[in-house]
Amino acid sequence: MKPWKRGDRQLHPPTRAWKRRPRIRPGTLPGTLHPAEAPAAPARLSLVRFSRDGVEEREVGIEQATAAATPGTISWINVDGLDATVLARLGDRFGLHPLAVEDAMNVPQRPKAERYEKHYVLILHTLRVVDDALIDEQLSVFFGEGWVVTVQEQLQGDTFGAVRAAIRQGRGRVREAGADYLAYLLLDSVIDAYFPAIEWLSDRMAALEQDAVSAHATTECLVQIQRTRHDLLAMRRAVWPMREEIAVLTRDDSSLVTPETRMFLRDAYDHSVQALDLVESLRETGAAVMEIYLSAQNQRLNEVMKVLTVISTLFIPLTFIASIYGMNFRHMPELTWGYGYLWALGLMTLTAAGLVAFFRRRGWW
């Protein structure tokens, strides 16, 4: 994590989550894709096909991908990049519902699990920290009997690396269970990925708490606190519906999800609740840091005022005494005393001592 510099006037780069808006175009018909809008880069497809006996893993074209799924094996097709043409082809091949495909295409959508006749679609959001900013990306997971299709935006990393490795090495029950268990693993890896992001936010919040009480805290610090709180809100918006999503999967009586996988989903549910708990707790911390900032600001004002008051009230009476003996009256006995000057200086010293004693009693000195 790039350390947050104190007194740094330049704005922390706003997180993407802060800025993102759904790409809904008023005037378009629901259930339609817009292939005309060519994606910035062509979508890359990769295929992982496995059974108890072996694994096959390679980059494929759309033709090979649609031809992949064969009985007795589990095929997992991953699409990197939102390409309407590719999605339409996959939709035809696996009988995906047009509305489900539209949700995968028109990012961002709210996390949700929807059951169609022959498949499920899970809309997920990963939250990762890239270059000191929180990146929110949508992942769509379609799964049916014997196949899983995942659609990612242009992710720089690979959220699913650990799952891929587990399949490759045949660890756990992954190669023995069905497509629903694979989908569960993908879901679980998304939830696990929240925890480093939450930790990053937690660190940022702790740094901001330090800043909030420092003498150099500026409005910039306040803006940072609010930004972090906004990130937490974005986090919450991702995790909250995910909890519901998993509950839906767990409750549904579809034959697509086996009872054993349901047991694992209950575990994923607990993890999502735990992530939510941490986020809620951080949100309370955020409110507390805000209050600390505001109060520390007041505290600083108090100290400025105290210094002003001490200096002013010390010298104002002294100056008054001096200005008395600066008057030009012809008959002012003190002026002609031999020790007049000392008398004046003594008077001043006594006054000052009295004031200092007063300040001491008030605890201002």
The C-alpha angle with vertex 283 and arms to 280 and 288, in degrees rounded to 5, equals 135
CB 180 within 8 A of CB 116: no
CB of 64 to a copy of itself, least distance (A): 28
Among 42, 161, 346, 354, which residue sits at the site for a copy of itself (rule: CB under 8 A)?
161
Strand partners, 50: 55, 74
The number of beta carbons lying within 10 Å of the beta carbon of residue 238 is 24
Return the number of the residue (2 or 330) whose C-beta is nearest a copy of itself.
330
Structure token digits, residue 126: 């990963």
Size of the site for a copy of itself (CB under 8 A): 115
- Confirm or reject binding of residue 306 to a copy of itself (CB under 8 A): yes
CB 97 within 8 A of CB 116: yes
Return the number of the residue (320 or 357) whose C-beta is nearest a copy of itself.
320
CB of 331 to a copy of itself, least distance (A): 6
From the list 16-24, 51-59, 134-142, 251-259, the region that binds a copy of itself by CB under 8 A is 16-24
Return the number of the residue (27 or 71) whose C-beta is nearest a copy of itself.
27
Beta strand residue intervals within 287-330, DSSP E: none
From the list 61-69, 80-88, 249-257, 305-313, the region that binds a copy of itself by CB under 8 A is 305-313
Which H or E element spans position 281?
helix 259-324
Which of positions 65-84 make contact with a copy of itself (CB under 8 A)?
none
Three-state DSSP class for 142? Answer: strand
DSSP letter assigned to residue 360: H
Return the number of the residue (54 or 195) whose C-beta is nearest a copy of itself.
195
CB of 333 to a copy of itself, least distance (A): 8
Write the interaction track for a copy of itself spanning residues 242-271; mark x where CB under 8 A is met and - where it is not: ---------------------xx-xxx-xx
Structure token digits, residue 78: 């991953």
Smallest CA-to-CA distance from 124 within 172, 188, 171 is with: 188
- Confirm or reject binding of residue 196 to a copy of itself (CB under 8 A): yes
CB of 242 to a copy of itself, least distance (A): 13
What are the C-alpha distances in Å from 71 to residues 22, 55, 183? Answer: 38, 15, 18
